[in-house]
Amino acid sequence: MAVTTQQLIQWKQQGRSIVALTAWDYAIARILDAAGVDLILVGDTMAVVLGYETTLPVTLEEMLHHAKAVRRGVKRALMVVDLPFLTYQESQEQAMHSAGRALKETGAQAVKLEGGYPAMAETVARLVQAGIPVMGHVGLTPQSIHQLGLKQQGKTEEAGENILQEAIALEQAGAFAIVLEHIPAELASQITQKLSIPTIGIGAGPHCNGQVLVTSDLLGLSEKQPPFAKIYTNLRETITKAVQDYSTEVRERKFPPLGNG
């Protein structure tokens, strides 16, 4: 059975942790889905695999292109698509157009928007009223890198209260879940207890209702690892070794072996 937004809310109530990862192509999406991941995010962190230094240059067309490929690989997981920078902040009409395209053209079940300030909460409410499921995102919001940097957010009492209020506003606007990124574990615990919708943590400690990582970080493919990521295997080393072995065999005329064409 395919995972739904309502299931995520039920799982929070049941105390079942939610497993989320990112994907940008068919092959990885298929593997993640078959491995039982609950939520697959087509994140604008694809900027990394496209060679950008930040998420800001990623376009809606790039997101839609990769999301279509991911959709072809996903059978069970809930698929969420990030709306990239300046494709939803200008107006509610712009957000509606971008989110509508994401659902109509890719087959995703939801979109994710960054921020919980009043105007963004109003935008989320408008999208939800139109039948578009929305995942929120507060704390460190990478599309605001030039304002916030990449440092942990919510460390002072005032900053923490602001993030809490943004999360509450997003729930009231109708968001079905909220990503909490790079905030103190105590703050994430407070938000998680306060909300009736699930929180998905990334660098926010163990008290969230689920966790998400960028898959290239998990697999050891990223050149730079965020401080909160864990490398479960090192595919950079594995791939490098395989390519070196192949190169050596080609140069020494050992591949392909005799009799194989």
> Annotated catalytic sites, by residue?
181
- C-beta separation of 177 from 193 below 8 A: no
In the chain, alpha helices (H)? 5-14, 26-34, 46-49, 60-73, 92-106, 118-129, 145-148, 157-173, 185-194, 215-218, 235-251
Give me 46's structure tokens: 């694809």
Distance CA 8, CA 176 (A): 8
Q: Which residues pair with 177 in a beta bridge?
A: 135
Beta-carbon-side half-sphere exposure of residue 227 (alpha carbons within 13 Å): 8
Distance CA 129, CA 173 (A): 9
Structure-token match 């460190």, residue found: 140
Residue-wise burial string across 26-65, b where 16 or more C-beta atoms lie within 10 A, e elsewhere = bebbbebbeeebbbbbbbbbbbbbeeeeebbebebebbbe
